[in-house]
Amino acid sequence: MKGKTLVISGGTRGIGQAIVYEFAREGVNVAFTYNSNEEIALEQVKDLEANYGIKAKAYPFNILEPEKYKELFLEIDKDFDRVDYFISNAIISGRAVVGGYTKFMKLKPRGINNIFTATVNAFVVGAQESAKRMEKVGGGSIISLSSTGNLVYIENYAGHGTAKAAVEAMVRYGAAELGCMNIRVNAVSGGPIETDALRAFTNYEEVRDKTAELSPLNRMGKPQDLAGACLFLCSEKASWITGHTLLIDGGTTFK
């Protein structure tokens, strides 16, 4: 994988940051997006290049404007000579999910639409742009992050869980149509993972304790758990895996 290039949305925190470093350790060059904190993004670029000898670049990007992926990839083209992997990871929180992160009877179209835009539409446009570039280098791997919230009930998660179910279906359609370009498309679905996004949940402590109780491994998931799964799916060891959702849940959905 050394010398190849990963493009990932949302690479400065949580799962995205863990993925960036997981790939950097393998010698993969990284183009990652950030939402607002340029200082943190630039510091991460310096750290990646200094410690792993790769090329890294950070780009500002609003995941609620997925149509601007086209402009973003044109900027990436100026800095990198190839795209081999694309991971749709960025999520939204805060005011953007008002009316989307709530009880079923309180769901509002604006909140649900924002979640679908950031989850499904952003995956589609990002995957389309990356696939055009992967075709030129003989293939590649595309991944969408997902969540077990589309399989099991999580309080206030109807908007997110439904969007994750939709993106997993979109992954299968992408896999069916991009295989002829030697491009594999998969999803990595995580159970509750210890991140800032989860800690923002109103019932975070309950989710944390219940997850550890349900898991035979007696702990919550860590960002590195999903990062390793993404690295595997992009590697040659997963060369016949496509249209699949890899469940990384610590055994919690069975119980």
Residues known to be catalytic: 157, 164
- Residue 185 phi/psi, 5° resolution? -130, 125
Tokens for 46?
């310096």
> How many Å apart are CA 221 and CA 34, to the nearest integer?
23
Asked whether 211 and 192 are in contact (CB, 8 A), the reply is yes
> How many Å apart are CA 139 and CA 85, to the nearest integer?
9
Tokens for 40?
């943190």
CA atoms within 13 A on the CB side of 213: 6
CA atoms within 13 A on the CB side of 231: 22
Residue 133 three-state SS = helix
> How many Å apart are CA 179 and CA 31, to the nearest integer?
24
